[in-house]
Chains A and B, each alone.
Chain A
């Protein structure tokens, strides 16, 4: 089937199988570098994207589902090379080591802070519960998000 959707603001048209996941199409067909395959079953958050502004695991989303919708990856956040506040906070707090979880972490943080600009620790931990990180020990990531939340 042929699907059309907006990827990071640009119109995309691509032939997909009914069984293709969005992750597979983004990574293997379109060549998006910032969505990562971690587990393929919605446990780790490395493949997260925004679909119509809502946080989704692209590994659990069928590509056909995004026909006519807007898909946003972490690559669309920076404008003209200018990083967003949350991205700068990740840099300043050394919140990335290998970087595999980082796009998902940043998108999760963005969505959380848009809904709730001053999350409690509990709300922050809840929001990050779907994103696994193996290198940083989470503390730098938590510090980065706290540094841009209003409290």
Chain B
């Protein structure tokens, strides 16, 4: 009986969203009378940081300062259609819609500012809540002032609308070629584990992860997704299962006592790195991050267990029972060969 160590690797290509014409996102951005903006989306903030990321994207697209942008979400009666908050799609899909809506607003602001400053719109620059004449930074006006004057003086509604959908791509009957996804994010996980061959217990010692996310619109939030996803993947690899432990359905997991989540003491060292390779289809190059950060963990752990004990566990979670059984079957088959 021994404690055996192993290292496993898994890599992942993760397509963002549902694709193939199936998941449109739409938004309307409206200026309030005080010149601040409301971004109406039917997406939902789940803690992933959507409110922050979409505000950043809207502020960048409009040229407003991020404090002057409020994202309102979760009310499908007040916001235009969105397919939903899933499939790592909201930053990319809704982000793209917001960029379009923001650019409409930017154009309205530049037109109004050109009247106020008496220059042509082409000679104006807009960024971080300020509009100024190119080369003459002193001749400037705030975005809030312009958005407000548009409504009160120039009788112009400051409204922008935007939409995004990945068009349907037909498979070429001759070559089988198609363009199925809007963008692909990438990742790699290396797991180091220790397997106790007496108890069957698998301990993850450390996880190295690297993710290529297009552009990290908010790196702090991407980090949060990476760590949270790693621990979710860890739970899926070693513990979490909804299947009954006995043949009857009445023995199904019903609570957190049987469905065992990782707790604070179960977390291995997690080393992570974000790589940026902006995609032309994403808002400022962003891709979807949320799910792939959980998906690669279990395969890497399974491979590390294989490296340690020489048996591939083919069903999650990797419980001590399965490990002991696998070790026993392996040693039996070795003995049979010897006979």
Contact = CB atoms under 8 A, between A and B. Distances in A.
Interface of A: 38-39, 41, 43-44, 94, 96-99, 122, 124-126, 128-129, 131-142
B332 to A, nearest CB: 38
Contact of B263 (A96, A99, A122, A125): A125
B230 A137 contact: yes
A32 B261 CA distance: 27
A44 B263 CA distance: 10
Given A94-B220, A97-B224, A142 B264 contact: yes
A129 B48 contact: no
21 contacts: A94-B220, A97-B48, A97-B49, A97-B224, A99-B47, A128-B263, A128-B264, A129-B265, A131-B263, A131-B264, A133-B264, A134-B261, A135-B228, A137-B230, A137-B267, A138-B231, A138-B263, A139-B227, A139-B270, A140-B224, A141-B264
A132 B231 CA distance: 12
B261 A132 contact: yes
Contact of A139 (B257, B261, B267): B267
Contacts of B229: 137
Interface string B250-284: 00000111000111110100100000000000000
Interface residues of B, number: 24
Given A97-B49, A137-B270, A132 B224 contact: no
Nearest to B226: A137
Nearest to B259: A43
A137 B228 contact: yes
Nearest to A43: B256
A128 B230 CA distance: 19
A97 B256 contact: no
A136 B224 contact: yes
A132 B49 CA distance: 20
The interface residues of chain A, by DSSP majority, are classed as loop
B265 A128 contact: yes
Given A43-B255, A44-B256, A97-B49, A137 B231 contact: yes
Nearest to B47: A98
Contacts of B46: 98
B211 to A, nearest CB: 14
Given A41-B257, A44-B256, A135 B47 contact: yes
B298 to A, nearest CB: 15
Nearest to A136: B228
B30 interface: no
Contact of A97 (B47, B257, B267): B47
Contacts of B224: 94, 97, 135-136, 140
B232 interface: yes
A51 B261 CA distance: 27
A58 B262 CA distance: 22
Nearest to B230: A137
A137 B265 contact: no
Contacts of B261: 132, 134
A138 B257 contact: no
A143 B220 CA distance: 15
A37 to B, nearest CB: 13
Given A39-B255, A43-B255, A140-B227, 15 more contacts: A41-B257, A94-B220, A96-B47, A97-B224, A99-B47, A122-B265, A132-B261, A135-B224, A136-B224, A138-B262, A138-B263, A138-B264, A138-B267, A139-B227, A139-B267
A43 B48 contact: no
Contacts of B230: 137
Contact of B265 (A43, A94, A99, A126): A126
A41 B263 contact: no
A140 B230 CA distance: 13
Contacts of A39: 255-256
Contacts of A99: 47
